[in-house]
A and B are shown apart, each in its own frame.
Chain A
Amino acid sequence: MKGKVLYIEDETFFANTISNKLKEYGFDVDLAADGESGLRALTETAYDIILLDLVLPHIGGFDVLKQIPAIEKNKKTPVIVLSNLSSDSDKRTARQLGAREFYVKMNSTPSNIATLVISITGQGADAHISS
């Protein structure tokens, strides 16, 4: 079974790059361009992992993090923050709100992120080899 990923990101370039990368590894990726549609997707579908940007239109990433525990289908889904915010206080807040990992996009590559997703979900790598 392929892992199901939700990536909440308003920048199309980042969303498509990560989505394509994860699809190469056999993941099934849904994209949400803002916090609101991200939360809607989380209520409708159970995901294996959530990738979340912090600076988002309308509902920001921190607010999304706050609301996830109340969403039955995804309350235990691991969240990786992918943001270009990098201060210690942002990282601390994200962790306190339940984020598993915090990756600064500028200091990472799509391959690093894919590796992290694979290691957290324990899925996808085989799919990539078999494909």
Chain B
Amino acid sequence: MIDPLLLITTVGHVVSSLIFTGVAAIVLLHDPQKTLNRTFAIAALSAAAFGLSFSLGINLPPGPLAYGVWMLNLIDILIVAAYLHMVFAVIHKEHEGRWLIRGVYAVGAIIVVASLIFPSAFLPEVIPKLFTKSYLTAGPLYIAMLLYFILVFFISFIALIYSYVRQRESRRQLEYFILATIIGYSIGPIDFFLVFDVPISPFYGMFFGLFMVPIAYGIIADNLMDIRIVIRRAVVYSLSIGLIAGALTLLIFLNDVLVRNVQWIQFWTIPIFTAIIAFIIARIFWLNLTENEKIKYEFITVATHKLRTPLTQIGWSVSALLESKPPPPTKELVERIQHANSRLIALTNMLFETTEEGIQNYTYTKTDIGLIDITKSALQKLQPIIEKKHLQINVHSDTEVHVIADLRRIGSVIEVLLENAMLYTPDGGLVQIITYVKGNRAVYSVHDSGIGVAPAESKLIFSRFYRTDAARRVDTEGVGLGLAMAKNIIEKYKGKIGVDSQGENKGSTFWFSMPVGKF
């Protein structure tokens, strides 16, 4: 007869692994290009592999097979290394911390290789412990692994706290990661006590899988409008999943009774059942997310269409009024209405262009575009602001840089970057435009001496409707759509767009790169 505790611990770890695999897949498919999503997937999949080898190991009697399976547990090194990498991606310190990240991976690899070369020094044997059929026993060097875990955890945690203290924006998102780190590291190491013969049951380790779910939601949802809503939803989701996991545990107890009393129920019945449940949960989770995005876009589409008729009526009435040559005081007021209406129309057009309907129905034409040439046209349009703010504009380029793309769209990208640089640079400031070819890519960058961008916000500012506090203070009229639109366009050409800034009030360099001569 199977020990109920062994059964529950086994099934619990399997469920935990399934959850890890599910969230890894969801996060990775959501945006496979992002380091954050990739490192999350590596950490989650390593944790899934750890859980599976653990659940198999505790069911095997001591022997070469059990020992081999337990050795697979070394994958836990990758969980913490990838987790640290993910934390650095979240706080946007990947570049500054690249040597540390590489070092952590390297030390982890050394520990794994050393364990394989000198297994007896790390994991001399597997023996039955508590309710398990076999369990790891720590060798004299196993402590290196434990130290690695503790050290990498502290580095990740301190990096999060440091970033939290320094950062003014998106603090709630970090609070959330900090909380998840505490929970994860409180549950994660439970399985290790018994390795050192501390009689703490690995039973509780099965809840480890739950902590990654809210983080996954946080990553996927970071582009939504309000991070507070995201956190609230994430808490609701994690609690729901916790409740479902609790219900599954009860089912496992029931299964134990059923296995003993009902002949046709096998040991694998519940694992298959839980796999189906986990799949359904992941599916609902995914549909819910995409549904929210759809609703947002549909709302914008409807809003833009419904606004058009009244805006046109105002526009046409105003132009009729102006044509009737009203007396000066009335004329001034009517012109003010006309100006406000034109701004509303421009905003509605911009909103429409960011909707699915606007994006998908836009026909991209292919034109040979000279980036310097198009910059000059954009600068002409922006002449009023250049004069008003006494800005100094420098264009640096050895030769004209050509791309083959849609003239209007690339023109909008360049206008957005230039206008932003001008709006957010104080009077008398400097805006430098540099364009060159690097390999087979055209690079275009706009450097300004303006308000700058906090590191944590460098990716968020390319999200729709996102505006930094500093940007709101300087320009109250903006809506946070220009950069999102620019990102859409540049990515359409398999290009990249980004910002480099030393921080707030330290200026910024907005850049994009895209292939030369290809559509």
Contacts and interface: CB of A to CB of B under 8 A. Distances in A.
Interface of A: 11, 13-14, 17, 84, 86-90, 92, 105-107, 109-111
Contacts of A11: 309
Interface in B337-383: 345, 348-349, 352, 357-358, 361-363
B313 interface: yes
B363 A106 contact: no
Interface string B28-68: 00000000000000000000000000000000000000000
Contacts of B309: 11, 84
A82 to B, nearest CB: 10
A64 B339 CA distance: 36
B323 A106 contact: no
B352 A86 contact: yes
A17 B311 contact: no
A105 B312 contact: yes
B315 A109 contact: yes
Contacts of B345: 106-107
Interface string B314-332: 0111011001000000000
B349 A86 contact: yes
**Chain B contact residues, majority secondary structure:** helix
A84 to B, nearest CB: 4
Contacts of A90: 361
Interface string B270-306: 0000000000000000000000000000000000010
B308 interface: yes
B361 A111 contact: no
A125 B271 CA distance: 83
B308 A106 contact: yes
Contacts of B308: 84, 105-106
Given A14-B316, A106-B315, A110-B320, 19 more contacts: A11-B309, A17-B316, A84-B305, A84-B308, A87-B352, A87-B357, A87-B361, A88-B362, A89-B361, A92-B363, A105-B312, A106-B308, A106-B312, A106-B345, A106-B349, A109-B315, A109-B319, A110-B319, A111-B319
Contacts of A84: 305, 308-309, 312
A107 to B, nearest CB: 7
Nearest to B352: A86
A84 B319 CA distance: 18
Contacts of A14: 312-313, 316
Given A106-B345, A107-B349, A87 B312 contact: no
B131 to A, nearest CB: 65
Nearest to B308: A84
Contacts of B363: 88-89, 92
18 contacts: A14-B312, A14-B316, A17-B316, A17-B317, A84-B305, A84-B309, A87-B352, A87-B361, A87-B362, A92-B363, A105-B308, A105-B312, A107-B345, A109-B319, A110-B316, A110-B319, A110-B320, A111-B319
Contacts of A110: 316, 319-320
A88 B361 contact: yes
Contacts of B305: 84
